[in-house]
Amino acid sequence: MNPSLPTELHEALSTRLGDSWLTGDACRPYGGDDSRQWAMPWAVALPRTHEDVLALVRACRAHRVPIVARGAGTGTTGAAVPAQGGVVVSFSRMDRIIEMRAADRCVVVEPGVLNGNLQQALAPHGLFWPPDPSSADLCSVGGNLATNAGGPRAVKYGTARDNVLGLVAVTGAGELIRCGGAYTKDATGYDLTHLLVGSEGTLALIVEATLKLAPRPPAQAGLRVLYRDAATAAAAVSRIMARPATPTMLEFMDHSAIALIRRNGSDVPEAGAMLLVEADGDDDTLPYSLQALADAAEGDGMLTLDVAQDGTARDRLWAARRALSPALRTIKPGKINEDVVVPVSRIPDLVAAMEALSVEAALPIVVFGHAGNGNLHVNIMYDDGDASETARAHAALPKVFAHVLALGGTLSGEHGIGLSKRDFMADAFNVATLDAMRAIKAALDPDDILNPGKVLPPRKPM
């Protein structure tokens, strides 16, 4: 047992949880996430019921022991890293689909259900849950809700926050709260459901969720459009998003991203920027939607436009996008990936600023992402075995955020804040706004035991 773990707490939770209470070396796999940060937990709990979570939180609160909620560990900001020690709560054993309510277009699940497994269970009902992050086959619903995950489909269907109807959660005070339910319209009291989504386990531990489902479209088709430069591609994004036919996906790649996938065998021609556009619908209406999107994509700076309607052609079209993230490691082994957001009209300004920053830092910076939302992934590539490159990469990061905020943007679209961006929150919000967030935190977690040190920056000394 870790000497930092109170004996009384260890004995109580060991008795309660049995083989779902881990200490010692068994805790090591639960200390990190995809941020490549790591810290050793004092213990790991794998609850199976609401009552287990209630008992855990009440016991930890009595001893002022930190609690860090964990999904599948695919997060990129260190939100699931127990930086201050304490107990990691893995929800991997709370993985039941509790109730399928196809007639109400919703499903009730526990937080440990994997996104990919949920989609498979929904398919026979002709339904799907829209959030589709790149780790969809591996990540958990609880983690998706904790970070307000999105993915390419968010441009049409919204993020996790837009696709949850109700939650059951345990606050840091050890109380079970219920908010929302199996209905899509609600003007009753404060909207705690959407407050908890995206809070990264700092306000409450989600133990059950009612998710909003969408009908699975019978047909999809895509476009690949190449442009002279980022400015003309961004202008096309604005035209596309102004049409009544909203694309299902609208992805952007800058010239660095195109050059990378070309080096890795893609048949994409040289260009200054590229848009990948997808539409969905039924067999009767899809051709009209696709034509409307193609018409909007055309304009000054467009070089070529290719249509992909059958499954094989669409797979080829999207293969380059799917291969992009893995291909980044062929440039440099180290990567700082930030999922910033700017207004769509400011995409070319952000891309230009990143090109200049790349020259200044003498490091490759690759920009791509979800153009329809203005949510772009800025990838600063560096050799993590080279002290000079590592220092330059980390020195460039504040400049990325400064540019984003100056363009009227925000720090994160779908990855969250965690540890990695926490200290930049003071740049994104004024003191009064941060104090309002701290007041909410204090109301739901009065002893600051839930994921302490994450999301909100320390108060500046007076």
CATH number at residue 303: 3.30.70.2190
Shared domain check, 19 and 63: yes
* pLDDT surpassing 70 at residue 462: no
pLDDT tens profile 313-322? 888 888 878 7
Dihedral in degrees, nearest 10, Cα atoms 48, 53, 54, 55: 80
Shared domain check, 148 and 42: no
Q: What is the pLDDT of residue 148?
A: 97
Shared domain check, 300 and 408: no
132-155 burial, b if ≥16 CB within 10 A, otherwise e? bbbbbebbbbbbbbbbbbbbbbbb
Shared domain check, 335 and 298: no
* pLDDT surpassing 60 at residue 453: yes
Shared domain check, 322 and 412: no
* 418-437: average pLDDT: 97
Total count of domains within the chain: 4
Q: What is the pLDDT of residue 3?
A: 63
**Cα–Cα separations (whole angstroms), residue 441 to 88, 153, 206, 209, 453:** 19, 31, 15, 21, 12
Q: Residue 360 is part of a domain; what is its CATH number?
A: 3.30.70.2740
Shared domain check, 352 and 278: no
Of 169, 194, 215, the residue that ends a domain is 215
Instruction: Give residue for tokens 């706004």.
Output: 433
**338 within some domain:** yes
**Residue 229: both structure tokens together:** 């430069």
Count other Cβ atoms within 10 Å, centred on residue 389.
19
* 156-171: average pLDDT: 98
Count Cα neighbours of 282 within 13 Å in the Cβ-side half-sphere: 3
Contact 121, 96 (CB under 8 A): no
**2 within some domain:** no
**437 within some domain:** no
Q: For a pLDDT cut of 70, what percent of the chain falls above it? A: 99
| Largest distance between two CA atoms of the chain | 70
Element at 223 (helix H, strand E): strand 219-227
Shared domain check, 104 and 211: yes
pLDDT tens profile 242-267? 999 899 999 999 999 999 999 888 88
Q: Please count the residues of the chain.
A: 462
**Residue 360: both structure tokens together:** 């200044």
- Terminal Cα distance for the chain, rounded: 40
Of 298, 314, 330, the residue that ends a domain is 330
* pLDDT surpassing 80 at residue 457: yes
Count other Cβ atoms within 10 Å, centred on residue 266.
17
Of 34, 60, 90, the residue that ends a domain is 90
The amino acid present at 167, given as its one-letter code, is L
pLDDT tens profile 379-391? 999 999 999 999 9
* 296-315: average pLDDT: 91
Q: Residue 177 is part of a domain; what is its CATH number?
A: 3.30.465.10
**402 within some domain:** yes
pLDDT tens profile 266-286? 889 999 999 999 999 999 999
Strands 106-109 and 97-101: antiparallel
**458 within some domain:** no
- Distance, in Å, from the CA atom of 35 to the CA atom of 376, rounded to the nearest integer, reads 18
**Residue 320: both structure tokens together:** 């380059």
Shared domain check, 116 and 50: no
Shared domain check, 412 and 345: yes
Q: What is the pLDDT of residue 314?
A: 84
DSSP letter, residue 78: S
pLDDT tens profile 22-46? 999 999 999 999 998 999 999 999 9
Q: What is the pLDDT of residue 313?
A: 81
**309 within some domain:** yes
**347 within some domain:** yes
Angle at 370 between CA 368 and CA 371, to 5 degrees: 90
- Distance, in Å, from the CA atom of 125 to the CA atom of 149, rounded to the nearest integer, reads 23
Q: What is the pLDDT of residue 329?
A: 84
Contact 136, 413 (CB under 8 A): no
DSSP letter, residue 217: P
- Distance, in Å, from the CA atom of 141 to the CA atom of 133, rounded to the nearest integer, reads 11
* DSSP string across 274-325: EEEEEEEE-TTTHHHHHHHHHHHH-STTEEEEEEE-SHHHHHHHHHHHHHHH
**446 within some domain:** no
Q: What is the pLDDT of residue 267?
A: 85
Shared domain check, 248 and 191: no
Host domain of residue 255:
217-330
**Cα–Cα separations (whole angstroms), residue 189 to 81, 192, 193, 443:** 34, 9, 11, 16
* pLDDT surpassing 90 at residue 434: yes
**Residue 271: both structure tokens together:** 């260009």
pLDDT tens profile 179-214? 999 999 999 999 999 999 999 999 999 999 999 999
